[in-house]
Structures are given as C-alpha cells and as structure tokens.
Structure 1
Amino acid sequence: MADLIPFDEVTHLFEDFEHTAWRLETQRGYASDRLSPSWERFQRGEAFGFNPDSPWHANVRAQTQRGKRFERVRLVDDPPTEGQRFLMTSGLGNVAAGEDIRNLYRAEAQRLGLPDYDFWVFDSRTVVKFVIDEQGVTLGVQILEDPGTVVLACQARDAAWHHAIATAEFQAQVPSAM
C-alpha cells in the first residue's frame, strides 16, 4: 500500500501535468467546503462566479489556455445533499475558469461499478487517491502509478465521463441546487 502523504505535497501536479487532470468526486460533503468563507455565502443564497484572484481559478485558466484539460465528475445523491448543492453552486466558477465539470447520480455510478473514493488521474499515468474520514476531512492522499491501478482509474474515468451530465444541463434538472 502506498504511503499516505499530505495533499499539499501533490499540488505541483496541477501545473506539471501535460494533457489532462481528471477527478472523480464521491463524497456527500467535504469539511474543507464547510470551513471556507464561501460556505457562508452559499448559506445566504449567493451565487459564485469566476474569480481571477482565486489561485485555483487562475491556475485552471492558465493551464487550459495552454491546451490542457481539467475535467471532473461529481457524484450526486437524489435529492442532493447540502454539500453537493454547495459544490454545484461553487463549481460554476470552476467551469467559467475552464474546467469541464459533469455530474452523475450516485445510483448510476453504483450501477456502473465506479469506485467509492475520490481520486485525480493525471495524464493517464498517475493516480492521486484521497483518504477521507466520515466527517469529510481529507486525511491525506496516496500517489499510485502501478499499471493496474492506473488502468482501473482510466476505465472508471471513461465510464463516468460517458454517462455524466454537463453542469448547466444537470443544474436545469435539479432546480433546488441553487
């Protein structure tokens, strides 16, 4: 089993990747979201947009302007949890920055046999698997590069991407998301 390391030790991958950074998000809520200043804005019903001062948005914009792709699929319960509604709201800024975010109902993900853990896959070579506790706290990540793990992550990516629904279309189906 790979060592558990702090997420901060892999942040360089979000600039160093060559072609594609892809994420599967499986949690019903994340502690980091609930602790962010944006959570209070969400609680007040405020919308979120592209923020050029956000380090994440600035990097996504810079990388996508270089021709790289940021993509993710978020699993959503029916009805969405409060944490999932927050992600749908805050994710609009990520989309405006250049990410392609799609959504997939959890029941469909289970039918497809998708993993029940979060991960990033970079350039179909490196998997960064999250270890998250029951309260949504990220305890660390594992860097996995063995061919078997990478192939399974790529297969999950392809299945999820094929069945997921683009953000705008999904949010039109879930009007209570905002």
Structure 2
Amino acid sequence: MLISFEEFDGMFENVEHTAFRLETRRRYRSDEQTETYRRFAAGRAPGWDLEDPWCLSRREQVALGKRFERVRIMDNPPTPGQRYLLDNAERNCAVGEDIRYLWRADAARMGLPDEDAWLFDSRVIALLHFDPNDDLTDVELITDPDQVARACRIRDSAWQFATPYRAFLAEVPTGAERGRA
C-alpha cells in the first residue's frame, strides 16, 4: 500500500521504540538540491544547522528513549552523494542517531538487498521507491509478517557487521568527507 509523504513523515513521530534504515543508493537528488550540498560540492563546510526542525524533532524523539539507526552502503571509492552523507553523519549523530557503514562489496557478499527502506518498531517496512533520476517517488508500507521478518534479519545482519561512523570515517581516504577526491 502506498502512503503519502505526509503519512511517512508522521511515522517518525509515531514510532514507539526503533526506526532503522538501510540506505543503499549512490545518490539522492533531493540532497543535491540543497544549499548544504552546494557548499559541500564546492569543498566548503556544509554548515549543518543543528536547530533546524528535523534536528529538533530527532533530538526530541531520542530524548523520549526512541532509537534511530542507519546502515549506509558505500561504494569504494564513495560517490559524491555518499561522501556528502558521510559528512552529514556528524549532524545525524549529534542529534542522537547511530549510523554505521558497510562497503558495497561486503554488503553484496552478505546478500543484503539493494533497496532503501525504513523498518519501524520491527513491525512495519516503509520501502522507498526512486525514479531513474534518483528522486523519491513513492513510499510503500509493508506489514506482511514474512516480509517484516526478512527485514528484521537483514537489519540484524547489516548492523552486526557494519562499522560505526567514526571508525568508518578513518577508513575513507583523507578529504572524502569534504567532497575532495
């Protein structure tokens, strides 16, 4: 069942315990349309605003005891979009998210799917659909118990073998976090 973007946004406020995301894409067009991305691509600090509505909401949810976790799949070398997200992880972690990374080759060996999805409270999947231009087009809500159980296994496997953000940052060639090759 497809849900609206507004309904999808509401899921982050209504999550009871955990929200986990598997991020597999090489780029997100929506990122490229931001001022922070333009600064990053020019080799400057993006200028993350830790007081923007997203950050305030995330901190509020974390303060209530909710966990937000991500495993990001990275190419080697990372694409510009992946480097931007690596830089962005500093902001996300500052507001309470726990972000870990896997190299794409390792994710492939593990048999992880090549799909972007959020798993809410180990009960509901929000599968993100993108068009060929890397624009988010739809969010599909999945509650089928077999598919949710599969998503939980994927989450557990990815999380177990993923490297925490700061340790992963040390594995990436110098300058990659600021958009320089």
TM score, norm. by length of structure 2: 0.92
Residue type at the aligned position of 2:28: Y
Instruction: Encode CA deviations 1:121-154: one digit per residue, 9 max, x unaligned.
Output: 0000010001112221111110001101100111
- Counterpart of 2:176 in structure 1 is 177
Does the aligned pair in 1 maintain the 2:23–2:70 contact within 8 Å? Answer: yes
- Counterpart of 1:135 in structure 2 is 133
Residue type at the aligned position of 2:129: V
TM score, norm. by length of structure 1: 0.94
Deviation of 1:13 after TM superposition, in Å, equals 0.8
Aligned: 1:18 with 2:12: no
Deviation of 1:49 after TM superposition, in Å, equals 6.5
Q: What secondary structure is seen at the aligned counterpart in 2 of 1:11?
A: helix
Matched length: 176
Deviation of 1:91 after TM superposition, in Å, equals 1.9
Does the aligned pair in 2 maintain the 1:114–1:156 contact within 8 Å? Answer: yes
- Counterpart of 1:76 in structure 2 is 74
Change (3 A) 1:71 1:48: farther
Matches within 5 A, 1:16-165: 16-48=14-46, 51-165=49-163
Which stretch has the larger CA shift, 39-48 or 72-81? 39-48
Taking the aligned partners of 2:78 and 2:93, their CA distance within structure 1 comes to 19
Taking the aligned partners of 1:158 and 1:172, their CA distance within structure 2 comes to 24
Instruction: Encode CA deviations 1:48-105: one digit per residue, 9 max, x unaligned.
Output: 5763322221111111111110000000001000110010012210111110011101
Q: Which runs of 5+ in 1 are unaligned?
A: none
Does the aligned pair in 2 maintain the 1:25–1:73 contact within 8 Å? Answer: yes
**Which runs of 4 or more aligned residues in structure 1 lie more than 6 Å from their structure 2 counterparts after TM superposition?**
none
Does the aligned pair in 1 maintain the 2:50–2:91 contact within 8 Å? Answer: no
Residue type at the aligned position of 1:102: R
Taking the aligned partners of 1:170 and 1:86, their CA distance within structure 2 comes to 14
- Aligned mate of 1:7, from 5, 8, 14: 5
Instruction: Encode CA deviations 1:24-51: one digit per residue, 9 max, x unaligned.
Output: 0000000001111111111132335763
Q: What secondary structure is seen at the aligned counterpart in 2 of 1:131?
A: strand
Identity of aligned residues (%): 46
Residue type at the aligned position of 2:150: L
Residue type at the aligned position of 1:70: F
Does the aligned pair in 1 maintain the 2:37–2:46 contact within 8 Å? Answer: no
Deviation of 1:17 after TM superposition, in Å, equals 0.7
Deviation of 1:21 after TM superposition, in Å, equals 0.5
Which stretch has the larger CA shift, 25-34 or 50-59? 50-59
Residue type at the aligned position of 1:91: A
Residue type at the aligned position of 1:94: N
Q: Which runs of 5+ in 2 are unaligned?
A: none
Does the aligned pair in 1 maintain the 2:36–2:47 contact within 8 Å? Answer: no
